């Protein structure tokens, strides 16, 4: 846990219940009730932090190779952010467009990522996806079919062919249900409602993790030689976001950075063009995603003057141009006074057959109907929303290794596949394509390791410092609630590191961040370690870390590329085809540039071929 008041180092010791490998510890906590810090110890050959699609796919691979990993998540089993993924998952199956192939999928991904992606990561994802989709299909995901029984595929923004496989508009939920069924069939141990706040690390190797049970408040020390971080991204740090409020706060990135790993590409935040407009539909809906599938199925964008404005910004690809292009176009329309009174625009699919809309977009139809809007007859009011963080932990994509021994990462937690902007449908793809590879590699590492669960004095001392810090945090009785500071932080990021950025704004953002950080000394947590208030306080700590990294890297990148638009540097500079790598050391954050590798021959050929969607196929 970072950014919070320093721990009291003279904290009492704890009981060690020595949990059985991969199983939950037996029995209750026998620690003295008047001790400040009590905790249980759980040992396991592999700890997977995160039970979304990425964590689930890694753990299935581990279990299939005979291991018994322990999977933990901070919500109930099956209830991860992945369930909100709607529109679909990419694989060059060629069901409808037989010319499609993995190098074209890779080329589309690199073009959308403005060639900042790690070509190996992209190629591994694109090459493995057809097999991963067939596997998910076999395992039971009920993908939509064509009349002749093939897996159906829809258009998605900036893709040359129909490549996005889908289950209506609930693809992520359907996928996670199937992965969880499979994990349960393999009897993979799982622990729900556990929040990890620190990795046990000396900076060069990780020996476990520390956290607490969110239902009982009990401290937990997980002792293992192998930790897989699959804890998601950080888009919820923004005030207006499409992800679940209580996830995607930046846990994975803050934990990894603090443990000695590097972060990459953190300045690149994807603003999805079509979030619901809170002023129109209610604050609880603000920023919630209107799936790209609406545009994929032919949805059109209009400004308040009734103009189909994408004709001016992207006459060929229209509404299906890249997300950054469409999001900036909407921001521009609003700024120039052609938006709705709520600073939105209209998204209309009512020209299509109502039955077709109901079949392809059932969740959207139902959600808007509950709000009194029949999308088969009338438009939706939408505007950009923070949706996905391309940045994350810097890994080797064949192995998931982070450069810190024993620590691996995967899924939205990491950076590399998406470069400066993510192609819709590629995130779910990455979770399973790379998840399987990471699972394979970690199994080999565990097999080569004589797992010794002994806890050294140093590890115990580190854990107890963290438990003390958590106890101290829970006892905070100042004047300002974590919810208040989280809201202010979200506003700060939206204002200073939003769709349009510049040097002065980013500097102001960093100044405001310092002031906000100082106010954490006056925090008031309302309730114990099982309270929402305490969880928000921990969220605040990680979000402050990623916010600083984001602002600093956005300031460092003096060009515009993909999702990062600098109004003071509006051009894309060839010399800036470099990643920004962030590390934390005693001197604070360091930011270094790193060159990007070149793609392989087949992908170069696909790039030279210049494939591009002709939007008018859709009409």
Ligand X SMILES: Cc1cc2nc3c(=O)[nH]c(=O)nc-3n(C[C@H](O)[C@H](O)[C@H](O)COP(=O)(O)OP(=O)(O)OC[C@H]3O[C@@H](n4cnc5c(N)ncnc54)[C@H](O)[C@@H]3O)c2cc1C
Q: Which residues in this chain contact ligand X in the complex, by CB under 6 A?
A: 49-55, 72-75, 80-82, 84-89, 171-172, 194-196, 211, 230-232, 242-243, 247-248, 251, 289, 387-388, 411-413, 425-428, 431
Residue burial 508-526, b: 16+ Cβ < 10 Å; e: rest: ebbebbeebbeebeebebe
Q: Which two tokens mark 66? A: 């005979």
- In whole angstroms, how close is the CB of 535 to ligand X at the nearest point? 10
**DSSP code per residue over 225-291:** S-EEE-----GGGSSSBSS-TTS-SSHHHHHHHHHT--EE-TT-EEEEEEEE-HHHH-GGGTT-B--
Q: Which is closer to ligand X, CB of 323 or CB of 512?
A: 323
- In whole angstroms, how close is the CB of 157 to ligand X at the nearest point? 11
- In whole angstroms, how close is the CB of 390 to ligand X at the nearest point? 10
Alpha-carbon distance 234 to 240, whole Å? 12
- In whole angstroms, how close is the CB of 60 to ligand X at the nearest point? 13
- In whole angstroms, how close is the CB of 319 to ligand X at the nearest point? 16
Q: Which two tokens mark 584? A: 């934390």
Of 383, 316, 302, 287, whose CA–CA distance to 350 is shortest?
A: 302
Looking at 97-169, which runs of residues are DSSP E strands?
153-154, 164-165
Q: Which is closer to ligand X, CB of 72 or CB of 603?
A: 72
> 567 phi and psi, to 5 degrees?
-60, -30
Alpha-carbon distance 426 to 590, whole Å? 30
- Report how far apart the first and last C-alpha atoms of the chain are (Å, whole number): 52
- H helices present in 140-192, as ranges: 171-185
Q: Which is closer to ligand X, CB of 222 or CB of 309?
A: 222
Residue 212 in contact with residue 219, Cβ under 8 Å? yes
Cα–Cα distances in Å, from 140 out to 61, 80, 133, 135?
17, 19, 11, 9
When computed from its CA atoms, the radius of gyration of the chain, rounded to whole angstroms, is 23
Q: Which is closer to ligand X, CB of 404 or CB of 538?
A: 538
Q: Which is closer to ligand X, CB of 84 or CB of 611?
A: 84
- In whole angstroms, how close is the CB of 422 to ligand X at the nearest point? 8
Q: Which is closer to ligand X, CB of 549 or CB of 555?
A: 549
Of 422, 232, 228, 451, whose CA–CA distance to 323 is shortest?
A: 422
Q: Which two tokens mark 105? A: 């999928």
Of 121, 108, 206, 231, whose CA–CA distance to 164 is shortest?
A: 108
Is position 205 annotated as part of the catalytic site? Answer: no
Q: Which is closer to ligand X, CB of 195 or CB of 407?
A: 195
Q: Which two tokens mark 253? A: 């990135």
Q: Which two tokens mark 413? A: 């937690």
Among 75, 127, 154, 323, the active-site one is 323
Query: Using N-to-C axis directions, what is the helix angle for 426-447 and 119-139, rounded to 10°?
Result: 90
- In whole angstroms, how close is the CB of 54 to ligand X at the nearest point? 3
Cα dihedral 473/478/484/488 (nearest 10)? -90
Q: Which two tokens mark 344? A: 């939105």
Q: Which is closer to ligand X, CB of 175 or CB of 489?
A: 175
Alpha-carbon distance 60 to 432, whole Å? 10
- In whole angstroms, how close is the CB of 412 to ligand X at the nearest point? 4
Residue 434 in contact with residue 155, Cβ under 8 Å? no
Q: Which is closer to ligand X, CB of 407 or CB of 555?
A: 407
Q: Which is closer to ligand X, CB of 250 or CB of 509?
A: 250
- In whole angstroms, how close is the CB of 235 to ligand X at the nearest point? 7
Q: Which two tokens mark 306? A: 């009734």
Q: Which is closer to ligand X, CB of 291 or CB of 303?
A: 291
- H helices present in 289-340, as ranges: 293-296, 310-313, 323-335
- In whole angstroms, how close is the CB of 192 to ligand X at the nearest point? 9
User: Strand pairing of 227-229 and 414-415?
Assistant: unpaired
- In whole angstroms, how close is the CB of 229 to ligand X at the nearest point? 9
Most distant CA atoms of the chain, gap in Å: 71
Instruction: Point out the residues that are catalytic.
Output: 323
């Amino acid at each position: 846990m970072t950014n919070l008041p320093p721990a009291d180092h003279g904290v009492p010791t704890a009981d060690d219940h020595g949990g059985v490998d991969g199983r939950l510890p037996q029995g209750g906590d026998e620690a003295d009730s008047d001790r400040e810090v009590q905790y249980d110890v759980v040992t396991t050959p592999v700890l997977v932090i995160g039970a979304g699609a990425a964590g689930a796919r890694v753990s299935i691979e581990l279990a299939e190779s005979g291991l018994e990993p322990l999977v933990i998540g901070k919500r109930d089993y099956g209830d991860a952010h992945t369930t909100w993924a709607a529109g679909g998952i990419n694989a060059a199956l060629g069901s409808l467009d037989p010319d499609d192939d993995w190098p074209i999928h890779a080329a589309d991904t690199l073009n959308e990522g403005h060639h900042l992606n790690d070509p190996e990561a992209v190629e591994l994802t694109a090459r493995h996806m057809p097999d991963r989709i067939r596997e998910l299909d076999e395992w039971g995901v009920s993908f939509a079919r064509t009349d002749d029984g093939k897996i159906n595929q829809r258009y998605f923004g900036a893709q040359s062919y129909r490549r996005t496989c889908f289950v209506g508009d609930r693809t992520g939920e359907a996928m996670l249900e199937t992965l969880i069924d499979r994990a349960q069939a393999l009897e993979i141990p799982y622990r729900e409602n556990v929040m990890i706040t620190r990795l046990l690390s000396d900076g060069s190797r990780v020996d476990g993790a520390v956290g607490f049970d969110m239902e009982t408040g009990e401290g937990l020390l997980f002792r293992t030689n192998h930790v897989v971080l699959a804890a998601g991204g950080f888009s919820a740090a923004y005030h207006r976001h499409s992800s679940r409020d209580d996830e995607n706060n930046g846990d994975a990135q803050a934990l990894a950075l603090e443990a000695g790993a590097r972060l990459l590409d953190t300045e690149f935040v994807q603003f999805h063009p079509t979030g619901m407009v809170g002023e129109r539909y209610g604050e609880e809906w603000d920023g919630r995603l209107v799936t790209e599938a609406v545009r994929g199925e032919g949805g059109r964008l209009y400004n308040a003057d009734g103009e189909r404005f994408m004709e001016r910004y992207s006459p060929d690809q229209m509404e299906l141009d890249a997300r950054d292009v469409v999001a900036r176009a909407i921001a521009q329309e609003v700024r120039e006074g052609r938006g709705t009174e709520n600073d939105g625009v209209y998204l209309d699919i009512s020209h299509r057959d109502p039955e077709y809309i109901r079949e392809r977009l059932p969740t959207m139809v139902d959600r808007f109907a509950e709000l009194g809007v029949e999308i088969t007859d009338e438009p939706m009011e939408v505007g950009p929303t923070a949706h996905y963080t391309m940045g994350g932990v810097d890994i080797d994509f064949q192995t998931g290794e982070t450069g810190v021994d024993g620590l691996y990462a995967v899924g939205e937690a990491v950076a590399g596949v998406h470069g400066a902007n993510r192609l819709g449908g590629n995130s779910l793809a990455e979770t399973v394509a790379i998840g399987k590879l990471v699972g394979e590699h970690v199994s080999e590492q565990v097999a080569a390791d004589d797992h010794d669960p002994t806890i050294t004095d140093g590890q115990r001392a580190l854990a107890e410092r963290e438990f003390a810090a958590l106890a101290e945090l829970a006892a905070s009785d100042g004047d300002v609630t974590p919810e208040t500071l989280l809201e202010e932080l979200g506003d700060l990021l939206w204002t200073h590191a939003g769709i349009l950025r510049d040097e002065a704004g980013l500097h102001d953002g960093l100044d405001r961040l310092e002031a906000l950080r100082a106010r954490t000394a006056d925090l008031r947590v309302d309730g114990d370690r099982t309270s929402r208030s305490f969880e928000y306080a921990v969220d605040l700590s990680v979000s402050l870390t990623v916010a600083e990294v984001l602002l600093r890297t956005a300031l460092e990148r003096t060009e515009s590329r993909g999702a990062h638009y600098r109004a003071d540097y509006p051009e894309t500079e060839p010399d800036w085809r470099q990643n920004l790598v962030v590390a934390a050391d005693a001197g604070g954050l360091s930011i270094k540039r790193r060159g990007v590798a070149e793609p392989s021959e087949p992908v170069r050929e696909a790039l030279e071929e210049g494939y591009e969607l002709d939007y008018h196929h859709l009409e």
